[in-house]
């Protein structure tokens, strides 16, 4: 299985405990991802708001197939990555 960090993009903030939890759990299993701070990237913040009914909810994860998930479990992110790289 080949993995590309671009398959999983996590939109997060530095202060969000849910973001820290997700990232920590993905790091424990060496799950690759790209991390974007929505407070430092206005376009990213706009996208997050567009998929969360106008709210800046983090973590929001975007997958390479165009789907997304808001505050997913790390296990769900890993399952989706396996699906994308199968």
State how many domains the chain has: 1
68 falls within a domain: yes
Residue 2 domain-assigned? no
**What CATH number did the domain enclosing 65 receive?**
3.40.30.10
In a domain, 28, yes or no: yes
The one-digit pLDDT tens for each residue of the chain (86 residues) are: 445 557 999 999 999 999 999 999 999 999 999 999 999 999 999 999 999 999 999 999 999 999 999 999 999 999 999 999 99
The length of the chain in residues reads: 86
- Residues spanned by the domain of 35: 8-85
3 within some domain? no
Q: Tell me, what's the pLDDT at 3?
A: 52
């Amino acid at each position: 299985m080949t993995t590309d960090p671009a398959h999983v993009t996590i939109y997060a903030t530095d202060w969000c405990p849910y973001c820290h939890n997700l990232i920590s759990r993905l790091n424990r299993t060496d799950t690759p991802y790209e991390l974007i701070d929505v407070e430092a990237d206005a376009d990213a913040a706009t996208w997050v708001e567009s998929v969360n009914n106008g709210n800046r909810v983090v973590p929001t994860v975007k997958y390479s197939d165009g789907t997304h998930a808001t505050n997913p479990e790390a296990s769900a992110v890993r399952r989706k990555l396996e699906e994308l790289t199968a």
